[in-house]
Amino acid sequence: MAAEIVLEARDLTKRFGGVAAVNGMSLSVSKGEILGLIGPNGAGKTTMFDLLAGSVRVSAGSIRLMGRDITTEPAYRRLAGGMARTFQIPRPFPDLSLLENMLIARQSQTGERLWANFTAPRRIAAEERAAREKALGLLDLVALRRLADDPARVLSGGQRKLLELARVMMADPQVILLDEPAAGVNPALLEVLISRIQEINASGVTFVLIEHNIDMVSRLCNRIVVMAQGALLFQGRPDEVAKEPRVIEAYLGGASA
Amino acid sequence: MTILQVNGLVAGYEPGLSIVKGASIHAAEAEIVVILGPNGAGKSSLIKAIAGLVPITAGQVLLDGHDITAVPAHLKIRQGLAFVPQTENIFPLMTVEENLHVAGGILPRAEVAPRIAEMFETFPDLARQRALMAGSLSGGQRQMLAVARALIVRPRVLMLDEPSAGLSPKLVEQVFARLSEIRQAGLTIVLVEQNARAALAIGDRAYVLVEGREAHEGPAKTLWDNPLIAELYLGHRKDAS
């Protein structure tokens, strides 16, 4: 029962001027879990991700990743430490190809070290081949493989979200924060993504999912945290969340019926 | 009566790289037409091209029988064709009221204030927040403001690019209910959406756009129930919902 906690936020607060976007929010995520984070627009969900991933600094509170205090660590160190996030509005490098955008996301490449290029050229070549294969496989998954050599600027809004999702997988993270992966994605392709997230999860990767597509959240998550006005409103199983009057009032509206 | 008629439209951002590849659609007065399709099919580009924001290389756009294909975007709005982009559709550092003022700028000066008052009547939420910076509105209110900015000039056709994206279920319901009401007043609405369920619920007719042109067309209700389309583009099987 006592599952290992991989990500834990305690009493997180973020103030922008006089406004507390996140106000004393706590969260703990167990290894192998897919945790849903939902709530009305402006509840502070994305700010919560910004704090967890290190995109903005916390005003108060603490964050632990796999037992290590990362509260003051910069974003890139948290990525190296095994946690990656996607953005709601992705900004790929417009003039790089999709494949290049993917390869950049890979962590600690041997070829990045100057001398290794002279002392271990074969190893670097083998690594790069493997990375290429992996990148193409991931692009295939999100239905973008046929565009692999095209510049990212040709992608539509929805396709950018898909590239973002594929790119985050390149870093082999242990914990993945997904910010509205379904918005703008065609429903048929979404079915493919849902089953792929389930597969990756089955291999031990933990997810935190911000999403307004309640069908997707209910199918993927066994626990949902509902935020409102920067703080915890409710948490529970999807069926408990769906019939909680406070959640219906603040968030679901008639859609839950 | 057909208000908007698009014939064999070809359009794209870069020369030699068409995204819209011969699309033909039409919309009647007070009709809600939904455009669905896979990612990268050219849905957003199609309505942006109609609005004059993506270069058109072939085909025609007719508004009320007049050819407006070559009319620049800022004059299309004067002729009654309004477009609400998916993002960056308001000025975040202006107040709600200032946003409406700017949008109403093409109206005769004496009409602007009464028209803003009418918009506040239609969108009471915005009236309460008239003095707030638009950038501090919540997602749903921001979308309402974007719609109000388009409506203030009394367009005949309103085109929207994924108004539901990023909105909570409750707000999606509100935005779509409001669009339904606006249509009652005689406005034609062309809606690009991935939220097929919500869009088809208020839509009259729908197109499925595939690789830059329309592959299917039909009444919104039958499209949702068509098993082939459901499986290929809507992601639900008939037995599943």
Binding-face residues of B in 38-57 toward A, CB within 8 A: 38-45
Residue A167: alpha-carbon gap to chain centroid:
11
Distances (CA, A) of B91 to A132, B128, B145: 42, 18, 10
Would you give the DSSP letter of residue A107? Answer: S
Residues of A in contact with B232 (CB under 8 A): 188
A34: number of CA atoms within 13 Å, CB side? 22
Picking from A89, A156, A212, the nearest residue to B167 by CB comes out as A212
Would you give the DSSP letter of residue B71? Answer: S
Nearest to A104 by CA among A75, A128, A73, A71: A128
List, in sequence order, every residue forming a beta bridge with B153; answer none if it has no partner: none
* Contact yes or no for A157 and B167 at CB 8 A: no
CA distance A99 to chain B (A): 17
* Contact yes or no for B39 and A214 at CB 8 A: no
- What are the pLDDT digits (tens) for A101-148? 999 887 777 777 777 777 878 888 888 899 999 999 999 988 899 999
What ipTM score was computed for the predicted complex, to two decimals?
Answer: 0.76
* Contact yes or no for B172 and A254 at CB 8 A: no
Q: Dig out the tokens for B141 from the structure.
A: 């209110």
Is the minimum CB–CB distance between B226 and chain A shorter than 8 Å? no
User: B31 in helix, strand or coil?
Assistant: coil
Give CA–CA dist B159/B82, Å, rounded: 6
Instruction: Count CB pairs under 8 A between chains A and B.
Output: 100
Homologous superfamily of A5-92+158-256 in CATH?
P-loop containing nucleotide triphosphate hydrolases (3.40.50.300)
Give CA–CA dist B99/A184, Å, rounded: 26
Picking from B43, B165, B234, the nearest residue to A187 by CB comes out as B234
A147: how many CB neighbours lie within 10 A of its CB? 18
Beta pairing class for B32-36 and B188-192: parallel
Domain range list for chain A: 5-92+158-256, 93-154
- What are the pLDDT digits (tens) for B79-91? 999 999 988 899 9
The gap between the terminal CA atoms of chain A, to the nearest Å, is 33
The chain B residue lying nearest A211, using CA atoms, is B166
Give CA–CA dist B51/B68, Å, rounded: 10
Note if the pTM is more than 0.95.
Answer: no
The pLDDT value given to residue A256: 44
Q: Compute chain A's Rg from CA coordinates.
A: 19
CATH classification code of B2-234: 3.40.50.300
Q: Can you tell me the mean pLDDT for A40-69?
A: 93
- What are the pLDDT digits (tens) for B143-188? 889 999 999 999 999 999 999 888 888 888 888 998 999 899 899 9
